[in-house]
Amino acid sequence: MQQWFRLFTFAGMAAILFAVVGAHALLLTLNDRVELGPRSADLEFEPVHFDSEAFAPMALIGAWKLTSRDPRVTGLSALAFDNGTLMALSDSGTIVRFPKPVGGHSAGFVRELPDGPGDPRQKINRDSESLVRDPAGRGWWVAFETRDELWLYNNVFTRPLRRVAIPNQKLRRNRGIEGMTSAGPDLLLLPENRGPLMRLSNRKWSEIPFDFDRKRSSDVAALGNGSLVMIERRVSAFGIANALVGVKPCKSGFCLEWRKDLPLGFFDNVEGIAVEQTDSGRTRLWLVSDDDSAPPRRTLLIELELPSQN
């Protein structure tokens, strides 16, 4: 009887396991994305107060909680500058363009990417995680994580220009390219896992290693002097720990130059970074957090200034 009991117990557990796996596979095939078309949207910027001294030696210029009635202004995973305005990319293939916050409200413009890999009705096919201007000025590159593809769109995101497969032999499912920047004519792609940078140069792929124990990263940006700054995150029972990591070129690839923990909230998940060079020659970092479309997480926009190198 005990043997039969064990057999039925094992069979029951196996049935539950297959049901869970099957349900997950079914959910991935359901339509969970609706396009609303290009339109303006009212954005609200609510100031958020942090201890400015906790960001030293960086200076905290401002921090805001971003909300909107447009349901697509959520899940922001990448950030960039375009002619003095900010441009965010969501993880469901939506572009949100807006000016730097100067008051409580601002008019933004929201539109979906005009095309991408797979069926546009499913978010898994529009898992866009990184954004960078094309070094040749043709438009904007977007990397799709789950599909491991790189797409080039024209400057106003009305049509795609090129499609490139990303070598995925070392990329795990949903652990693909999270960040992207440029170095001269080349594109540098940052995997979420602890692997090396991937460089696309003249249609050829190569790798640039890190000479330190890199943690999981969510974005990368070039500082203009050959150095890069990355967003590092660690998830534990104590919440999400975000940090900025500065790296510089060295003989072995990229060496660690500095690391700064960010004193943010328990659920704040920083996903995007953009670099601004001010008229006075200072370097400012803009960060955006991903609310994962689920409260109590929030979309934060944070403006920091790096210390002077003089």
Question: Are residues 110 and 19 part of one domain?
Answer: no
pLDDT score for 247 = 97
Determine what percent of the chain is predicted with pLDDT higher than 90.
73
- Indicate if 22 and 128 belong to the same structural domain: no
How many Å apart are CA 92 and CA 147, to the nearest integer? 13
Label residue 173 by pLDDT band (50, 70, 90).
Answer: low
Does 279 map to a domain? yes
Identify whether 233 is part of a domain: yes
Residues 91 and 193 grouped into a single domain: yes
Residue 36 has pLDDT above 70, yes or no: yes
Are 150 and 221 members of one domain? yes
List pLDDT tens digits, range 111-160: 999 999 989 888 888 999 999 999 999 999 999 998 999 999 999 999 99
Would the CA dihedral through 237, 242, 243, 249 be positive or negative? Answer: positive
The CATH number for 192's domain is 2.120.10
Minimum mean pLDDT among 48-62, 76-90, 140-154, 296-310: which range? Answer: 296-310
Same domain, residue pair 60 and 24: no
What pLDDT is attached to residue 31? 66
204 within 8 A of 217, measured Cβ to Cβ: no
Same domain? For 14 and 154 the reply is no
Least confident of 128-132, 150-154, 169-173, 206-210: 169-173
Amino acid identity of 273? Answer: I
Least confident of 26-30, 84-88, 186-190, 242-246: 26-30
The more confident residue out of 15 and 235 is: 235
Total number of domains in the chain = 2
- Which pLDDT value is given to residue 170? 64
**Same domain for 26 and 163?**
no
Q: Which pLDDT band, with edges at 50, 70 and 90, does 5 fall under?
A: very low
Task: Tell me 37's DSSP state.
Answer: -
**131 in the Ramachandran plot: left (φ > 0), alpha (ψ -120 to 50) or beta?**
beta
Domain shared by 92 and 12, yes or no: no
Q: What is the mean pLDDT of residues 23-51?
A: 79
Confidence of residue 3 (pLDDT cuts 50, 70, 90): low
- When pLDDT is cut at 50, 70 and 90, the band that residue 295 belongs to is confident
Residue 310 located in a structural domain: no
How is the chain split among helix, strand and coil, in percent rounded to 5? 10, 50, 40
Considering only residues 198 and 170, tell me which one the structure prediction assigns the higher pLDDT.
Answer: 198
Mark whether 9 and 58 lie in a shared domain: no
Residue 9 has pLDDT above 60, yes or no: no
Specify the 3-state DSSP secondary structure of 289: strand
Find where tokens 């124990």 sit.
213
The range of the structural domain enclosing residue 17 comes to 1-30
CB-CB contact of 128 with 77 (8 Å): yes
Report pLDDT for 175.
64
Q: Which band of pLDDT confidence, cut at 50, 70 and 90, is reported for residue 20?
A: very low
> Dihedral of the CA atoms 264, 268, 272, 278 (nearest 10)?
-30
1 and 62 part of one domain: no
pLDDT value at residue 287 = 98
pTM score, whole prediction: 0.88
Same domain, 9 and 62: no
Residues 17 and 137 in one domain: no
pLDDT for 300: 98
Q: Is residue 101 part of a domain?
A: yes
